[in-house]
Structure 1
């Protein structure tokens, strides 16, 4: 197959990491893979793996005329490289892909992969949009599939393919017992990730426990960085919090952690917690969207309600107080991820969807 992924950018993020790993998996199975995007540092890694790189800054734009120009440019890319499958990874690039496919006169199959939709009202828009722009929808969670069906999208058009990770990069490591809990959060510094909830919970625990009971690692970049640093100062926890920025050594950082948190208000099927779980980190996360499809409360992690500082505070206190609980949850977490959420499984399942769509229109 000749496959073209279309996405606004290729910087560090869950969807972008998923595209990178999926591309490598498909390339290893003998398929031709291209990526059309506005740019990003992950392109170098994809080029080294053998993917064709097509860069146009317009793919990050949203204005109608720019969408048209992007579609026109994509039509030339599709026609020149004879792509059979166009897999878009955002709403705006889905419109661009539809336009490009039509203008190319090649009529490739158009598949939209839905990672995360923050606004529930958008699901009805997706029903209308995908009726005209796509041949199939891939979604990363059963939760998203249900919401699409509730919005009126035909279940026959929807395929669930859970995200996967490179298990070899994230082997299980049994943590050593320590008097200092290393707790991390790996997420872009944006409102929906719940950093304020996390820092307030840390502050509440810090008031109860004297001394340097914890080391808090904040990994990620985003517009809230200065605001969150000021919040840590106001909460008087900046002596235990380290802002590490955007990092490319996540496996090494996870080795240092005992606990990983993700107090998001919305999520898709988050890569970060799967990477942490694979290494045996104890994960505390909100029970939103696809997360309960990975974490079973009290069995391989701890789930809390979004926006609930007190629940997160109690969960942190529990894992801080019990090395045995951390070990038990971490081992179970590693087993579930390594058995069910590998890049290999994601690649095979995606390949199956692509083949099914191609055969249905042959």
Structure 2
């Protein structure tokens, strides 16, 4: 078989993203190594940009400003004219909207990615230029909870067909998580203290207020410290709540940190107390990859990630009493803490490995082109 024939038979994929994370970048590379021709348009400010450049995968730099980015649409259109592509895989709503415009009049298959619950409606015009657009062939959902949410959307006779939805977990690799645990004394945490860590954005739905209340409910004989990693330090409401708690000296704000996974790795428990709309949170996965026991709320895809009493603890959302009890249980039962931490790490290695994501994504591409 000639090289030209091989090139024609190789499926060509154009991936459109922003500052892609490590799992996304390794997915692109894995697909290339699996025999797909993968080109990437992405933001050069991304932490993994040079990794893709080294693999000769970046065909254009792109940082979309909106879903109507004229320059971005023109750049995508130009790239589509430069060679034959079978599939466009868009990894965010901006990229999806611009890809649909740029590929108008072509037969290219459009694959969308969805990582969170919410913000899609048949009554929302913006949804019709992204996920509800009739030219979207498949929506890859990062968790079954997101797939179920999209399947539940209805208005009159309209709904998203089950055939259009597929769940593919975003894969990781334990080899990516080898950083030495951070020294928590830099944040005022005493050496040897029992540490609860939580990482995320300053957003009311993240449930930091519930976590602070849960820490305040711990018995007086239980000396645990809480590390809030991220821009929660900017919330005056949370700072006031901490100041009014029984032991404000045990709650520490770190601000935004590039070494958040290393901070989690140095902790005993990782908590994500979200109230709503979680997908498959990377912060929880990173902590589990380091063998840190997770405590999460029963929100979105988190119960899919953390198996109750097997690889962590799952509590109801907006329930600081249950959250406090879970933390106390782990504090008092070191055997359970260690057991769940080991199981959490094994779960990421076995059930959320990047090779699985590559394989399932490749199968999706082949099925769209009738090659299965």
Normalised by the length of structure 1, the TM-score is: 0.82
Aligned residue in 2 for 1:273: 284
Aligned with 1:26 (options 28, 31, 44): 31
Equivalent position of 1:94 in the other structure: 96
SS of the counterpart of 1:136?
Answer: strand
Given that 1:164 and 1:271 are in contact with CA atoms closer than 8 Å, whether structure 2 keeps it comes out as: no
Q: Flag structure 2 segments of 5+ consecutive residues without an equivalent.
A: 1-10, 154-158, 181-190
Contact 2:42 2:58 (8 Å CA) reproduced: no
- The corresponding residue for 1:55 is 61
Between the aligned partners of 2:195 and 2:104, the Cα distance in structure 1 is: 52
2:78 maps to 1:76: yes
More helix by share: 1
CA distance in 1, matches of 2:91, 2:123: 15
* CA distance, structure 1, for counterparts of residue 74 and residue 90 of structure 2: 16
CA drift at 1:162: 1.1
Structure 1, residues 186-223: CA drift from partner, whole Å, max 9, x if none? Answer: 22232322222222222332xx3358x23333333479
The match for 1:351 is 362
Structure 1: give runs of 5+ residues left out of the alignment: none
- Given that 1:185 and 1:218 are in contact with CA atoms closer than 8 Å, whether structure 2 keeps it comes out as yes
Provide the rounded CA distance (Å) in 2 between the counterparts of 1:228 and 1:295: 27
Paired residue secondary structure (1:10): coil
1:183 is matched with which residue? 196
- Cα separation, 2, equivalents of 1:46 and 1:156: 32
**Could you tell which deviates more after superposition, 17-26 or 313-322?**
17-26
Counterpart in the other structure of 1:220: 230
- Show CA shifts across 1:68-92 (max 9, x none): 5532331112222544321112333
The answer on whether the counterparts of 2:122 and 2:132 sit within 8 Å (CA) in structure 1 is no
> What's the counterpart of residue 145 of structure 2?
143
- Range that drifts further, 306-315 or 32-41: 32-41
| TM-score for both structures, normalised by structure 2 | 0.80
User: CA 1:112–1:250 in 2, change beyond 3 Å: closer, same or farther?
Assistant: same
Q: In the alignment, which residue of structure 1 is the partner of 2:272? A: 262
* CA shift for structure 1 position 112: 0.5
Deviations 1:272-307 (A, max 9, x none): 222222332111001111111122222221111222
CA contact (8 A) 1:85 1:109 kept: yes
- Aligned equivalents of 2:80, 2:349: Cα separation in 1: 36
Query: Equivalent residue for 1:163?
Result: 170
Task: Report if the CA contact (8 A) 2:114-2:142 is conserved.
Answer: yes
- Number of residue pairs the alignment of both structures matches: 343
Cα deviation, residue 259, structure 1: 0.5
SS in 1 for 2:160: coil
Q: Contact conserved, 2:232 with 2:238, CA < 8 A, in 1?
A: no
Q: Distance in 1 between matches of 2:354 and 2:329?
A: 32
Instruction: Give the distance between the partners of 1:306 and 1:163, measured in 2 at CA.
Output: 24
Query: Deviation string for 1:325-348 (max 9, x for gaps)?
Result: 201211222222221111111111
Distance 1:90 1:300, change over 3 A: same
Structure 2 Cα separation of the partners of residues 164 and 219 of structure 1: 23
Partner of 2:186: none
Mapped to 1, the partners of 2:103 and 2:361 lie a distance apart of 21
